[in-house]
Structure 1
Amino acid sequence: MLDFKIFIVEDDKWYGGLLHHYLSQNPDYDVTLFGTGKECLAQLHRKPDLVTIDFGLPDMTGEELYGKIKQAYPNLPVIIISAQERITTAVNLLKMGAEDYLIKDENTQQLLWRAIIRLREKQSLHNEISELKAELKTKYDYSHSIIGKSPALQAVFKLIDKAAGSLINVSIAGETGTGKELVARAVHYNSSRSGHPFIPVNMAAIPKDLVESELFGYEKGAFTGALNRKSGRFEEAGSGTLFLDEIGEMDLNIQSKLLRVLQEKELTRLGGTSKIKLDFRLVVATHKNLSEEVKKGNFREDLYYRIVGLPINLPPLRERREDILLITQHFLTAYCKENKIPEVRVSPAAREKLLDYSYPGNVRELKSVVELAAVMSENNIIEPEDITFLSGNSQNVDAVLNTELTLREYTRLIIRNYLKRYDDNVLLVAEKLDIGKSTIYKMLQTGEIEGA
């Protein structure tokens, strides 16, 4: 699910499209492009997490738009992007509270990416500290977040307990939507390192040209735009846990450097010479079969044996059908509480329909199905007709195929469906459909298809 909403205000359609495409590489970013300040102001009720402003707009100056935004939402972060280096203007805007002031050049995209990362780190710092303190008060009870009583899931619980009782590396395998990060958090918060940070990194969400600096950090002046020293994710983990999600997407060159870090327990920041000692625990996850990736030459064999540690394989939801109704009730209760509505129940016929489906999107898909059914229900009772399976079924497929569409229209329909199913993970969708990722990026950039 997209969880960081970015508004880009840029009257140059080509440049705005470039920024939109670049930021949209992160599946967590929900990016919207506006051509004028008025269009942006009219949509502020959608409560973006960040607004970037082109200083030279056709209907108002960047300063005017900035002032209107801050008047309506004083705490909304704003980054100014200007085609000219106006020192006085930049200083004044920064004094007024602008998050950053960037000059349009060949480095703007990377500088903007890093500025957003810094902003998110700053915004989440207080929340993370509060959450960590709350989690440390009692043992992390993962049964509240990983729902189920099936034998397959009970076996996973036993492995979590074994992993939490040791410092061995852990590798988590499972299809998309099975809850790999939940398991990683359960291992961490029940281990002796629970008082230290849990640092999640989604390897599929970071552009390849930024992976090294994100993991290793960099020194001031290491490259154009490196205005200050920055610690990487290895350092941030400290004596806690580093969770590398979708490690199967890691480039072979970075795999080699990760192996050296794990072997030597130290690193050197980009542009630096000093050795920095490390003491983190590694937990990795992937939807791929890493042993098969080794055979294909896509993953280093020596790194594979270094990280595999204690393997935990998460069963897909279709293999633990006895948990479907338990999970359904869990999501319904949470949904009703969040929306402050009376309890919603599931009719016997609707239960049968839920049990008869295979859930290719696993628990994540079930959550979407249940919440949509709650919205569609009448009299607080979910009936079969309220349930829509987002991944489709044979009846839906037949209905689509009986509709006369062009090949291009079918292609758009399929890609849009897969993007929804896999939370806008373009790399994963490209792999599933066996098409080039550039095809998907281009269709997203042109607006031919929209992300989930």
Structure 2
Amino acid sequence: MSMSQFKIFIVEDDPWYGQILHYHLSLNPDYEVTLFGSAKECLQNLPKKPDLITLDFGLPDMSGDKLFNKIKETDPNIPVIMISGQEDISVAVNLLKAGVTDYLVKDDATKDLLWNSVIKIRENQSLKKEVEVLKEELGQKFSFENTIIGQSPALKRTFVLIEKASKTQINVSITGETGTGKEVIAKAIHYNSDRKKKKFVPVNMAAIPKDLIESELFGYEKGAFTGATARRIGKFEEGNGGTVFLDEIAEMDLNLQSKLLRVLQERELTRVGGNEQVKLDVRILIATHKNLSEEVKKGNFREDLFFRIMGLPIELPPLRERGQDILLLAKHFIDEAAKADKKAPKSLSNSAKEKLMSYPWPGNVRELKAVVELATVMADGKEIEADDISFFSPQKETNLFLFEQKTLREHTCDIVRVYLKKYGGDVIQTAKALDIGKSTIYKMIQDGEILLEDS
């Protein structure tokens, strides 16, 4: 809120007393104070949107409580301070119950009390505006276009489902390989839904020890177990009115699955060690990199819980199926790194682009981010070259070849190159391990398809 825009209306039929209040408040140069002598004048000027109104309870053309009601009908958010010559406590109580922000009795201390009351009201309004701005910024931060970067057909099909999920209260199950951005999708759904002003509470089931998951989810009462020195609410209560995101739900053991099922069915929970039933209004989003239907067949996941939580299924495409999205994401991560380091963003050379596009990204978006951030540091000039890019996937190189678009000959050379490296350049051992003739390997070396220094 701009410090010069705090508008105060004073409604007072006593000109002398009104001028005293006007003068006193006008001592603050940030206040724009206007004095009105009647209820009619005040109502005519409400379109000017004052930030605060002080009302004399005993106006000649309309009682203060009636004027208050008309003000609230026009704008229920305008704070109102009632100033009255009456010291009847019941009048003050009734007005405060009706929504009056403060009630002041006319005496020698009124102007000072009014000054303090205005300061408190202004501070509260500023805080409310800050909260609204932050919530708006949060909503913008998690808008689809800001959080989910890409234009590939595979991703656009996902967008359609995310939009449907945001417009309904149905539970959502998000599946996909590790690193595809399941929590990002969950946040996008929450912050674009009508629950966006309430909490988004993420819980990684794989990161919590099994003996602590129940108390973490449902909370506990004082004395429930050794070390429970006070009541603590769980993640579900924390997310009441909002969204709870259960990541890696397939890691939940069967005993807790049955308790979760009851909570979802009854829409209430009981804290560990307690008897009180707590009503819940939460939306559940779940994620896993496993095939839950297969886990049900194996007996690792309850079938009844499976049907309760599946809701709208959203499967995230792996990065290798997203084509040019790889370069769009790479540019985004390069720009982010430059912003963090307060430097000009670097560009990708054609050879660097080709290298990024030819890699299968088993770690998906998470791996791409790490690779690009490292390449940004390693590049000496304004452009990132292919040599600046290093892959450090924990998967075996031979598994990665299957995802690359190469000829059979190129794949063969790659495999021979890996085995030569494994056996320290020993052609005979390599030929024996691959069950091919050593002359085949020598021919590849002679033709320049394999360089001895590669091994």
Q: Which residue of 2 is the match for residue 386 of structure 1?
A: 388
How far apart, CA to CA, are the structure 1 residues paired with 2:329 and 2:217?
35
Per the TM alignment, residue 130 of structure 1 is displaced from its structure 2 partner at its CA by: 9.2
SS, match of residue 180 in structure 2: coil
Do the aligned residues in 2 keep the contact of 1:139 with 1:190 (CA within 8 Å)?
A: no
Q: SS at the partner of 1:148?
A: coil
| 1:375 matched to 2:381 | no
Q: In structure 2, do the counterparts of structure 1 residues 374 and 402 end up closer, same or farther at CA, with 3 Å as the change threshold?
A: farther
Matches within 5 A, 1:47-126: none
Relative to structure 1, the CA distance from residue 177 to residue 306 in structure 2 (aligned partners, 3 Å threshold; closer, same or farther) is same
Equivalent-residue separation in structure 2 for 1:215 and 1:296 (angstroms): 25
How does the TM-score come out when normalised to structure 1? 0.59
Residue 290 of structure 2 corresponds to 288
* Contact 1:217–1:230 (CA under 8 A) maintained in structure 2: yes
1:169 partner letter: N
Q: C-alpha distance in 2, partners of 1:288/1:240?
A: 26
Give the Cα–Cα distance (whole angstroms) in 1 for the partners of residues 272 and 306 of structure 2.
25
Asked if structure 1 preserves the Cα contact closer than 8 Å seen for 2:147 and 2:188, the reply is no
Residue correspondences, number: 276
For structure 2, which runs of at least 5 residues remain unmatched after alignment?
1-130, 399-413, 426-455
What pairs with 1:301-450 in structure 2 (closer than 5 Å)? 301-391=303-393, 393=397, 397-398=418-419, 401-402=422-423
Deviations 1:393-433 (A, max 9, x none): 456955762369xxxxxxxxxxxxxxxxxxxxxxxxxxxxx
Give CA-to-partner distance per residue, 1:238-262, whole Å, 9 cap, x none.
1000000000101111100000000
Distance change >3 Å, CA 322–CA 261, structure 1 → 2 = same
- Matched residue type, 1:322: Q
Q: Equivalent residue for 2:95?
A: none
- CA separation in 2, counterparts of 1:315 and 1:147? 13
Cα distance in 2 for residues equivalent to 1:166 and 1:137: 17
- In structure 2, which of residues 154, 169, 172 is the aligned counterpart of residue 170 of structure 1? 172
**For the structure 1 residues 132 and 271, does the alpha-carbon distance in structure 2 shift closer, same or farther, using more than 3 Å as the test?**
farther
Cα distance in 1, alignment partners of residues 184 and 329 from structure 2: 15
SS in 2 for 1:218: coil
Separation of aligned partners in 2, 1:202 and 1:230: 19
> What's the secondary structure of 2:194's corresponding residue?
coil
Give deviations 1:48-68, integer Å, cap 9, x for gaps.
xxxxxxxxxxxxxxxxxxxxx
Deviation (angstroms), 1:341? 1.7
> Percent identity at matched positions?
61
Query: Does the 8 A contact of 1:290 with 1:299 survive in 2?
Result: yes
- The residue that corresponds to 1:224 in the other structure is 226
Q: 1:341 to 1:402 in 2, by over 3 A?
A: farther
SS at match of 1:355: helix
Deviations 1:156-210 (A, max 9, x none): 1111110000000000000100000000001000101111000000000000010
Query: What code does the residue aligned with 1:389 have?
Result: F
Q: Secondary structure at the match of 2:324?
A: helix
Corresponding residue for 1:188? 190
Residue of structure 2 in register with 1:153 after alignment: 155
Alpha-carbon distance change, 151 to 191 in structure 1, aligned in 2, over 3 angstroms: same
What amino acid maps onto 1:269 in structure 2?
R
User: Following the alignment from structure 1 to structure 2, what is the Cα–Cα distance between the partners of residues 401 and 240?
Assistant: 53
Contact 1:135 1:189 in 2 (8 A): no
SS of 1:285's equivalent in the other structure is strand
Distance 1:226 1:262, change over 3 A: same
Distance 1:354 1:190, change over 3 A: same
Query: In 2, are the aligned partners of 1:374 and 1:380 still within 8 Å (CA)?
Result: no
Residue type of the alignment partner of 1:333? D
Residue 244 of structure 2 aligns with an amino acid whose one-letter code is L
Cα distance in 2 for residues equivalent to 1:271 and 1:228: 12
The 1:370–1:140 alpha-carbon spacing in structure 2 relative to 1, beyond 3 Å, is: closer
Describe the shift of the 1:191–1:318 C-alpha distance in structure 2 as closer, same or farther (beyond 3 A).
same
Equivalent residue for 2:181, pick from 179, 182, 189: 179
Q: Residues 223-262 of structure 1: matches in 2 within 5 Å?
A: 223-262=225-264
| Cα distance change, pair 350–217 in 1 and its aligned pair in 2 (3 A) | same
Given the superposition, is the C-alpha separation of residues 320 and 190 from structure 1 closer, same or farther in structure 2, using an over 3 Å criterion? same
1:49-101 residue CA offsets vs partner (Å, 9 max, x unmatched): xxxxxxxxxxxxxxxxxxxxxxxxxxxxxxxxxxxxxxxxxxxxxxxxxxxxx
C-alpha displacement of 1:381: 1.2
| Paired letter, 1:343 | P
Between the aligned partners of 2:420 and 2:135, the Cα distance in structure 1 is: 52
Counterpart-to-counterpart distance in 2, 1:346 and 1:224: 57
User: Which residue is equivalent to 2:210?
Assistant: 208
> Structure 1 residues 286, 227: closer, same or farther in 2, change over 3 A?
same
What whole-Å deviation, never above 9, does each CA across 1:341-364 have from its counterpart, x for those lacking one? 222111101111110000000000
Structure-2 separation of matches of 1:350 and 1:138: 32
Please tell me the residue identity of whatever aligns with 1:197.
Answer: K
AA at the equivalent of 1:318? R
Any gaps of 5 or more consecutive residues in structure 1? 1-128, 405-452
The structural deviation recorded for 1:145 is 1.8
Q: Which has the higher Rg, Structure 1 or Structure 2?
A: 2
Structure 1 Cα separation of the partners of residues 183 and 266 of structure 2: 26
Alpha-carbon separation, structure 1, partners of 2:157 and 2:295? 26
Distance 1:220 1:358, change over 3 A: same
Letter in 1 for 2:307: Y
Cα distance change of structure 1 residues 165 and 279 upon mapping to structure 2, 3 Å threshold: same
Distance in 2 of aligned mates of 1:279 and 1:257: 17
Separation in 1, partners of 2:332, 2:133? 21
Letter of the 1:168 counterpart = I
Paired with 2:141 and 2:338, the residues of 1 have a C-alpha distance of 27
User: What amino acid maps onto 1:225 in structure 2?
Assistant: G
- TM-fit CA distance, 1:132: 5.7
Task: State the alpha-carbon separation in 2 of the partners of residues 291 and 379 from structure 1.
Answer: 50
Code of the residue aligned with 1:317 in structure 2: it is: L
* 2:343 alignment partner AA: I
2:202/2:246 contact within 8 Å kept = yes
CA–CA distance in 2 between the matches of 1:341 and 1:140?
Answer: 25
**Deviation string, structure 1 residues 331-386 (Cα, Å, up to 9, x no partner):** 00111111112221111011111100000000000011111111111212111111
